[in-house]
């Protein structure tokens, strides 16, 4: 299978979506963040000048515009930049889009996609490093997508834009250069299908986004010591394929959960709670979480490194559940 | 003045205004009788804004409204039985009992999403307008909100977008606080808004803006028809502020009916308690409209009395329908999260 970089797969998905359906409109133009490849997006702008909009710095306004346009039949994809900026649009995302279908009694669909680059990107400090996915998970009505590979970003973006529901599409800035296989053709991946990224019998690592790549690197390293790590990626947390996660935990009896949200009420917290509720009798050791501690993200590199769910921290957690 | 439309249309406008009035008064009584719970807002005193304004629209146009939405839906022809049922949380409500008074939606009438957040719909309205312009469908969007909505950041952000991109949207700001508490002649409009007149805000964003009397059906009809025509011609967004005098029953946190409206009060307010008599004499838009219909010989007092009776009967039947409608099954709470 051909290999592409994450940013290439993402642009390919956007181009194919734009070509296939003229109701798809893009609002905002930094789908590749501050990446050196960001200029490549201009090809899409050039091909579809009427369907790519450069809005003013009015996240609340244009997010609402995108929701309203979606209610009226367009497929709008909004780029909000970093994960932190979705807070500027919060009332429209969590209080209008998320509620629209439910509170209208099933009358009104809002098939809008909000795209952000989440997480600790390197020197982003406290206001450009957020991982809003756990907060958004507490807003019923939003689908939440967290790709971790080039194949997944392409396939999940296809499904996100075609979904009848408001969808939050969350990339990590540090994933953009990651290379991996991407099938030719449409490649759409249905929501709610976790993937076992690496099979192993000793311990399950459930990870999301960039932390999947870190967990895979760790698994490779520990394999040399004879420790077989199974890495499972939910890929979407709403809907969540809990059955696949539980199946892995049943096999290994040991689980480490890795994500970049803060520890309290984060993605890892929720998955841990569900494993404790539904798979307690399968556990041979306590569940361990590797997350960002409950502090804002600091600027200085050693401070930032200290709070990041890094490979050494994942290794330490795996060893602790194997003891 | 009365709108320059055929007599039968005038009588239909009158019927809808009376329908809103009697619906809302009945609703307040239903609340007093503890037939439903939760806070709510009524449209009494603004009937001559909503009814003639929305009569200027075409089928297929988009409408957005707020917590004070009952009158807008009734003006557009919504079924009062299903409105009552929704407000009472019943199965036959427009939203299956999941929305209630704040969120009445009737997509077949253009009301796709009604927000209880005062400025929440303003960005959404730019969105349906954007979609209509993109599809060249000819549909326009009307966004109805109160003066308080201008205090949220969503309003200026949306005015900027609508103006930059010449979107086909009418912002209709219903200011029901003329002579309201804390306001003095010549002073700021309100203790919470530095912009005065309110039309200065959209005007700053180069949106043509007008301030009109919202208790005068003819004035509203002229202003809205002109604005709608400009929008349909592609001239971009328009803004109208309609001013009404707050109904004394809405002065308190929970609405109260100081006197049940009878169309005959258009000629004789002696039955109205003295404390609120002045509002019914000079500021009640429904009674003003009825008086004008009679003065212009468009209806006799008997015509009006008959219309009033018919509407009251329909409202009573609608309320009874809602009271007889079952509550939804509890498990309904788990449905419709996702399409």
Q: Is A59 a catalytic residue?
A: yes
Residue B185 has pLDDT above 70, yes or no: no
For the ranges A166-180, A247-261, B177-191, which has the lowest average pLDDT? B177-191
Residue A34 binned pLDDT confidence (cut-offs 50, 70, 90): confident
Residues of A in contact with B105 (CB under 8 A): 103-105, 107-108
Q: What is the mean pLDDT of residues B185-200?
A: 77
Residue A225 has pLDDT above 70, yes or no: yes
3-state secondary structure chain B: CCCCCCHHHHHHHHHHHHHHHHHHHHHHHHHHCCCCCCCCCCCCCCHHHHHHHHCCCCCCCEEECCCCCHHHHHHCCCCHHHHHHHHCCCCCCCCCCCCCHHHCCEHHHCECCCCCCCCCHHHHHHHHHHHHHHHCCCCCEEEEEEHHHHHCCHHHHHHHHHHHCCCCEEEEEEEEEECCCCCCCCCCCECCECCCCCCHHHHHCCCCEEEEECCCHHHHHHHHHHHHHHHHCCCCCEEEEEEEECCHHHCCCCCCCCCCCCHHHHCCCCCCCHHHHHHHHHHCHHHHHHHHHHHCCCCCHHHHHHHHHHHHHHHHHHHHHHHHCCCCCHHHHHCCCCC
CB contact under 8 A, A103 and B97: no
Q: Which is more confident, A34 or B14? A: B14
Using DSSP's 3-state secondary structure scheme, residue A296 falls into coil
The pLDDT mean for chain B works out to: 95
Q: What is the pLDDT of residue B178?
A: 77
CB contact under 8 A, A72 and B337: no
* Distance from C-alpha of B314 to C-alpha of A82, rounded to nearest angstrom: 55
Crossing angle between the packed helical segments B7-32 and B80-87, to the nearest 10 degrees = 20
Q: What is the pLDDT of residue A12?
A: 97
Residue B134 has pLDDT above 90, yes or no: yes
Residue B252 binned pLDDT confidence (cut-offs 50, 70, 90): confident
Contact B71, A72 (CB under 8 A): no
Say how many Å lie between the first and final Cα of chain A, rounded. 39
Those residues of chain A whose CB sits closer than 8 Å to some CB in chain B are 25, 50, 55-56, 58, 60-74, 76, 91-92, 95-96, 100-110, 140-141, 143, 164-165
Residue B180 binned pLDDT confidence (cut-offs 50, 70, 90): low
**How far does B75 lie from chain A, in Å, by closest CA?**
19
Q: What is the mean pLDDT of residues B135-162?
A: 97
Q: From 3.40.50.720, 3.30.470.10, 3.90.1170.50, 3.40.50.970, which CATH number describes the B7-321 domain?
A: 3.40.50.970
Query: Which of A62, A104, A143 has its CB closest to that of B161?
Result: A62
Residues of A in contact with B129 (CB under 8 A): 68
Q: Which is more confident, B18 or A30? A: B18
State pLDDT tens for residues B40-91: 999 999 999 999 999 999 999 999 999 999 999 999 999 999 999 999 999 9
The pLDDT mean for chain A works out to: 97
Q: Is A118 a catalytic residue?
A: no
Q: Taking the domains of chain A in order of start, what are their residue ranges? A: 3-181, 195-322
Q: What is the pLDDT of residue B182?
A: 45
CA atoms within 13 A on the CB side of B179: 8
Q: With an 8 Å Cβ cutoff, is B327 touching chain A?
A: no
CB contact under 8 A, B127 and A105: no
DSSP symbol at A97: I
Residues of B in contact with A95 (CB under 8 A): 115, 117, 120
CB contact under 8 A, B135 and A73: yes
The pTM of this model reads 0.97
Instruction: Please give the full DSSP string across A242-290, using - where no structure is assigned.
Output: HHHHHHHHHHHS-EEEEEEEESTTSHHHHHHHHHHHHHGGG-SS--EEE
Residues of B in contact with A103 (CB under 8 A): 95, 98-99, 103, 105
Residues of B in contact with A50 (CB under 8 A): 134
Q: What is the pLDDT of residue B189?
A: 61
Residue B157 binned pLDDT confidence (cut-offs 50, 70, 90): very high
Catalytic position from the list A59, A195, A211, A230: A59
Question: Which residue of chain A comes nearest to B139, CA vs CA?
Answer: A72
Residue B24 has pLDDT above 90, yes or no: yes
Contact A96, B124 (CB under 8 A): yes
CA atoms within 13 A on the CB side of B208: 16
Contact A75, A109 (CB under 8 A): no
What is the percent of chain B with per-residue pLDDT over 90, rounded to a whole number? Answer: 93
* Distance from C-alpha of A114 to C-alpha of A170, rounded to nearest angstrom: 8
For the ranges A20-34, A195-209, A239-253, which has the lowest average pLDDT? A20-34
CB contact under 8 A, B127 and A108: no
Domain covering A3-181: architecture: 3-Layer(aba) Sandwich (3.40)
Query: Which of A74, A76, A104 has its CB closest to that of B105?
Result: A104
Tokens of A144: 């939440």
* Distance from C-alpha of B311 to C-alpha of B301, rounded to nearest angstrom: 15
Interface probe, candidates B130, B162, B328, chain A, greatest A C-beta count within 10 A? B130
State pLDDT tens for residues B278-330: 999 999 999 999 999 999 999 999 999 999 999 999 999 999 999 999 999 99
Fold entry, domain A195-322: Rossmann fold (3.40.50)
CB contact under 8 A, A61 and B161: yes
Query: Which of A58, A74, A107 has its CB closest to that of B161?
Result: A58
Q: What is the pLDDT of residue B161?
A: 98
């Amino acid at each position: 299978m051909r290999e592409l970089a994450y940013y290439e797969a993402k642009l390919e998905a956007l181009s194919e979506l734009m070509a296939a359906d003229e109701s798809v409109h893009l609002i905002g133009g930094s789908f590749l963040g501050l990446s050196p490849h960001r200029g490549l997006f201009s090809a899409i702008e050039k091909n579809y000048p009427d369907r790519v909009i450069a809005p003013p710095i009015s996240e609340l306004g244009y997010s609402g515009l995108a929701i309203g346009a979606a209610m009226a039949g367009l497929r709008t994809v909004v780029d909000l930049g970093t994960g932190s900026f979705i807070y500027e649009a919060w009332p429209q995302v969590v209080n209008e889009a998320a509620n629209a279908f439910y509170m209208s009694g099933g009358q009104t669909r809002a098939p809008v996609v909000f795209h952000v680059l989440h997480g600790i990107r390197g020197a982003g400090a406290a206001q450009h490093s957020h991982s809003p996915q756990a907060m958004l998970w507490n807003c019923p009505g939003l689908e939440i997508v967290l790709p971790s590979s080039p194949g997944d970003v392409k396939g999940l973006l296809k499904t996100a834009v075609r979904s009848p529901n408001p969808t939050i599409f969350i990339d990590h800035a540090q994933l953009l250069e990651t290379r991996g296989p991407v099938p030719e053709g449409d490649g759409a991946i249905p929501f709610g299908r976790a993937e076992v990224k690496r099979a192993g019998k000793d311990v399950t690592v459930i990870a999301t986004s960039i932390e999947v790549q870190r967990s895979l690197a760790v698994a490779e390293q520990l394999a040399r010591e004879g420790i077989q790590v199974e890495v499972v990626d939910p890929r979407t947390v709403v809907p969540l394929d809990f059955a696949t996660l539980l199946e892995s935990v049943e096999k290994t009896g040991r689980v480490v959960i890795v994500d970049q949200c803060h520890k309290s009420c984060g993605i890892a917290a929720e998955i841990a709670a569900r494993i404790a509720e539904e798979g307690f009798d399968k556990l041979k050791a306590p569940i361990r979480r590797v997350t960002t501690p409950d502090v804002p993200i600091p600027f200085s590199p050693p401070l930032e490194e200290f709070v990041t769910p890094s490979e050494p921290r994942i290794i330490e957690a795996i060893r602790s559940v194997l003891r | 003045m009365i709108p320059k439309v055929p007599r039968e249309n005038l009588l239909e406008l009158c019927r809808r205004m009376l329908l809103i009035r009697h619906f809302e008064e009945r609703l307040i009584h239903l609340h007093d009788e503890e037939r439903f719970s939760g806070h709510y807002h009524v449209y009494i005193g603004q009937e001559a804004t909503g009814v003639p304004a929305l009569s200027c629209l075409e089928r297929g146009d988009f409408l957005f409204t707020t917590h004070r939405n009952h009158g807008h839906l009734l003006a557009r022809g919504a079924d009062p039985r299903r409105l009552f049922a929704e407000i009472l949380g019943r199965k036959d409500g427009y939203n299956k009992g999941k929305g209630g008074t704040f969120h009445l939606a009737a997509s077949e009438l253009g009301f796709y999403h009604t927000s209880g957040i005062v400025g929440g719909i303003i960005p959404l309205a730019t969105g349906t307008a954007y979609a209509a312009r993109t599809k060249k469908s000819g549909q326009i969007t009307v966004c109805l909100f109160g003066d308080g909505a201008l205090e949220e950041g969503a309003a200026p952000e949306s005015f900027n977008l609508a103006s930059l991109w010449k979107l086909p949207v009418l912002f209709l700001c219903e200011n029901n606080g003329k002579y309201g508490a804390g306001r003095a002649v010549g002073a700021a409009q309100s203790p919470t808004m530095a912009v005065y007149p309110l039309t200065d805000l959209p005007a700053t964003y180069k949106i043509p803006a007008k301030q009109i009397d919202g208790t005068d059906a003819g004035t509203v009809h002229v202003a809205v028809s002109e604005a709608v025509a400009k929008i349909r011609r592609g001239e971009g967004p328009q803004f109208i502020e309609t001013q009404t005098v707050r109904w004394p029953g809405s002065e308190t946190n929970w609405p109260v009916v100081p006197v049940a409206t009878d169309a005959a009060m258009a000629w004789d307010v002696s039955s109205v308690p003295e404390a609120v008599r002045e509002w019914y004499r000079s500021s009640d838009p429904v009674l003003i409209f009825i008086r004008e219909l009679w003065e212009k010989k468009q209806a006799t007092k008997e015509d009006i009395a008959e219309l009033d009776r018919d509407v009251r009967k329909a409202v009573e039947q609608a309320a009874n329908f809602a009271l007889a409608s079952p509550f939804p099954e509890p498990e309904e709470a788990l449905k419709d999260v996702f399409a």
